A and B are shown apart, each in its own frame.
Chain A
């Protein structure tokens, strides 16, 4: 075991090359910026989680009582706003993406390193604004800011929150712009498009979605903020405005937003599964097409959030059909991951546990998505706990599981340390258990008719709510555990070799942690991304290096 004091004696890497606070806060190194982001989003994760904790505690009793009705509304709004824009959307792209994109394609940094740093500051400014709004009194309109509640009738700090979201959008756009240009223009020699790791494809698809959707959200929240500030009824029927137009514009962004959250997660899974099954990904080309198809079709489904809001029946049918269509490429990906596992040489380290959990939980989330995509069923299920369960299965069971999978998988590369495997496996198992106990009862509650965003509920539903809250407490423990064993590993754990998992990516062909400019010499790519051999367990890395 080595200690922190040994760090200075190590060869120069991006962590120990410079020590000052200034060298961190003014860095243009994509790896350091990734860590800066990691700190920010972790903080927001626990803030959003705190709101969720209060909600679940409150819902243990049918008549409520823990929170005042108004406070309850502010809690679920805070939970939504923080988790969507300040955790889920930036999580994988801004942390793992920022760290890995240049490494995986053999580049020294992203195309625009200073814009990368600026994006972190913009993110924090928007974060400070939203925290200010929430702690000064909060907003109670729900994270969806439906008009005219958000424009006319609510008394919270909506304008400030909306401006925070507006500014947050710039951070997203900067990251996306960087990724798109970098992937197009800075790949190492030999790294053709169809040799790119699927994580890169996934981030590329995500970035396209970010670029095209976020500006529409920016305009939408700007219009609502202006309506509130100036008292002019842009979405107010009294002036000729249409509240449904707000919903069209809001969901035109917010549905692709969920694909912004899940596509990077799928990318992570596509890296972890081949490595821990020692098998090339099944149907690589199909996986890339599926990613792009999800990105594109995901823009055509937004009306399924509005089935009961007053859109025409014809339009509902069109959106329902599109929503069914988007499930196809997602399903293709699940089939291909499963086919990759088939006859693989599987080992069950923590990243793999999270990845396997992802496949199951994402599938449940996806199938229940089809249920709510069926317009006739959605009439009964809209605004019930069924919808909440559905999206938490894909967002938390899916995206958060993948985030933890990626965090553990690349931890040795990022920190140069090995985390404690047993504790990580326990946490993964606990998370799977806690998650299902929290959210499966919510499917039943939704089916039984329990509405969402109400601070009380009918007494006969208490048992399911209690189960859900119990599950939440287990989930909370599972989320807190990595905080401890991962931090501990920074100081006490074994140092990691360059390629502890014997993986094929270019990021594993440099030191752990990498040097400031990533590679001593620009690598040349001669192999595809997943040249694993399931019979021997060996592999050939993308630069040709052989692992027996």
Chain B
């Protein structure tokens, strides 16, 4: 059994855990502002050009967006079940849940990649091969600009998250975490669920417009 010592600036390991927990929430507040600013810009333009945005949004691949939403929501579940298992000392089960999280995340990126290729063939990629359809005005391209910025930024965060979950899975395997201290795992779990939350907002914004 390893003896866990807190870092020199902390008095107890519990303090170290609390600090990590508060730290990630403070960081997530900044991420909320970051994505929120993007969503703010999008919402403003959608309000200014409702018809064009609706017409453009109707060409998004709805099934891709929906499947991805399901994958991510499920991954939040598997992540938190993994953390719980680790807390209970059930290391093997924890690893399985974390592996499931990684698979779901990879599935998301897979669907997204497929979708990007499909978008390219649909010729809706601004700066690359965007063409206006009959009756579409310039703001339609603006919709697609936001679509790509938002989903790319989200995908970058997802990739970082996947790397972190992978690293945590390795550390769980190695037996680093116990019910007394598992702060890094929980921190990564929070980050992961946050990335899920971003998609919760992006999905209706980008995919559910202009369908009726």
Contacts and interface: CB of A to CB of B under 8 A. Distances in A.
Interface of A: 102, 107-113, 173, 177, 180-181, 184-186, 211-216, 218-220, 223, 226, 230-234, 238-242, 245, 249, 517, 522
B115 interface: no
Contacts of B113: none
B131 interface: no
A215 B31 CA distance: 7
Contacts of B142: 232-234, 239-241
B30 A230 contact: no
B22 interface: yes
Contacts of B22: 181, 184-185
Nearest to A107: B9
B41 A232 contact: no
A178 B194 CA distance: 21
A233 B139 CA distance: 9
B175 interface: no
Contact of A220 (B26, B31, B37, B127): B37
A173 B30 contact: yes
A215 B141 contact: no
B19 A181 contact: yes
A215 B45 contact: no
Contacts of B52: 240
A185 B29 contact: no
Given A112-B23, A223-B149, A230-B126, A240 B139 contact: yes
B201 to A, nearest CB: 15
B37 A240 contact: no
Interface string B177-207: 0000000000000000000000000000000
Contacts of A177: 23, 26-27, 30
A226 B146 CA distance: 11
Contact of A212 (B33, B38, B44, B145): B33
Nearest to A184: B22
Nearest to A223: B41
A216 B26 contact: no
B157 to A, nearest CB: 13
B9 A240 contact: no
B8 interface: yes
Interface in B71-92: none
A395 B127 CA distance: 41
A108 B37 contact: no
B33 A215 contact: yes
Nearest to B145: A232
B148 to A, nearest CB: 9
Nearest to A516: B8
B8 A517 contact: yes
A186 B20 CA distance: 12
Contacts of B10: 186
Nearest to A177: B26
A113 B9 contact: yes
Given A108-B8, A181-B23, A186-B9, A234 B145 contact: yes
B193 to A, nearest CB: 19
A71 to B, nearest CB: 32
B178 to A, nearest CB: 22
B14 to A, nearest CB: 11
B34 interface: yes
A296 B26 CA distance: 17
Interface in B132-182: 137-139, 141-142, 145, 149
Given A184-B22, A216-B37, A245-B44, 6 more contacts: A109-B8, A110-B9, A186-B19, A220-B37, A232-B145, A234-B145
B66 interface: no
A234 B127 CA distance: 12
Contacts of B8: 108-109, 517
B87 to A, nearest CB: 22
Contacts of A245: 41, 44-45
Nearest to A188: B11
B17 to A, nearest CB: 10
B70 interface: no
